[in-house]
Amino acid sequence: MNETLLRGLTPSVLGILVRRGADFAAAEDAVQDALVEAIRVWPTDPPRDPKGWLVTAAWRKFLDATRADAARRRREDLVDEEPAPGPAPAADDTLRLYFLCAHPSLTPSSAVALTLRAVGGLTTRQIAQAYLVPEATMAQRISRAKRTVAGVRFDRPGDVATVLRVLYLVFNEGYSGDVDLAAEAIRLTRQLAAAIDHPEVAGLLALMLLHHARRAARTSPDGGLVPLAEQDRGRWDTRMIAEGVAILQAALVRDRLGEYQAQAAIAALHADAPAAEETDWVQIVEWYDELMRLTDNPVVRLNRAVAVGEADGPRAGLAALAALDDSLPRHTAVAAYLHERDGDPATAARLYAEAAHKAGNLAERNHLTRRAAHLNALR
């Protein structure tokens, strides 16, 4: 069974049902039922037209559910005649589904879950595993999201920025359970880039590729976190880097700079350096300045302080850091790093230990604890 094929067909099949008049929640349930049927039937009886088969099966599931529900009798005009089986329409409603799933009335977590279900074609169980929550909890979240957008009409263009934010959130979830959300986010963003010509869509895709290219080098054999400066650059995926850089360059020449293009430019400069000490930190600071003009985000300011510390020395970095709220995530870890670079191991060790207590995941906590122990051993 080609699960990738099924997931790739899901949004277009769902879009066809919605265009025929099914509301989103009912259509999504019908498509999921059709996918289950495909998993059961296709291994022994593969269809000549997979998309057409799914459209027909999903529409029949929808009709069965509609006829069985007395509360939906107002839709009887939809079910008088079932469309004849045959090739599925060529129209692709994927873009419409992206905007629907990223509707501003949804919370970010609900928008992400609905995107993974409706556009990504993942099961509720897979999404629940990825987010480390019970399947019943995720089912409730998705159901609420579907009810929220059930009556939404698409008579105006959707908000691309909201769609990109949702995909960025998916990418940052990384990997958990049996679904690689980083790879899934790249697949979905490629799909979006094929449907819409927008430099920020290209910028986000480039950013994802450039970050994902370093994935194999981010952890040690024992699962420990490996900082960027210490990574084995020979393990970076050079083809993925080349693709990301090419996509970014094509976006930048359009002179419509956005935050994802700026972030991708920073990632490209890291990828371009043969060794950590050859990184062009001065240019990275300049890109962070551009990024701050686009989005005055505290996390951007924090990352800029690190870049300033590399470009102009740790004391310049500490001065930039002093202007920021010390409750920011990773603020203490950044302060520890800059103090270490400034030749103050005692302060750095204390701050690394403090940062370890605040760490959001085990890998980061272990890394910070090891840094503190290493500096203490040198005293």
pTM attached to this predicted model: 0.80
* Contact call for residues 209 and 186 (beta carbons, < 8 A): yes
List C-alpha distances in Å: 193 to 31, 154, 164, 200, 267. Answer: 24, 20, 11, 9, 20
Q: Residue 34, exposed/middle/buried by CB under 10 A (0-12, 13-18, 19+)? A: buried
Q: Residue 175 is inside which H or E element, if any?
A: strand 175-176
- Mapped onto helix, strand or coil, the DSSP state of residue 343 is coil
Distance CA 193, CA 15 (A): 18
Q: Residue 180 is inside which H or E element, if any?
A: strand 179-180
Give me the residue spans of the domains in the chain: 1-92, 197-296, 301-379
Give per-residue burial for 167-203: e unless 16+ CB within 10 Å, then b: bbbbbebbeeeebbbbebbbbbbebbbebbebbbbbb
Give the pLDDT score at 73.
53
Residues 6+ apart with CB under 8 A from 280: 269, 272, 273
* Contact call for residues 163 and 191 (beta carbons, < 8 A): no
Give the pLDDT score at 375.
94
Residue tagged 């750095």 (tokens): 348
* Contact call for residues 104 and 159 (beta carbons, < 8 A): yes
pLDDT along the chain (379 residues), means of 10: 79 87 87 90 90 93 79 50 47 72 84 86 82 88 88 67 87 69 89 91 98 94 90 97 98 96 98 96 98 92 97 98 93 97 96 93 91 90
Give the pLDDT score at 355.
96
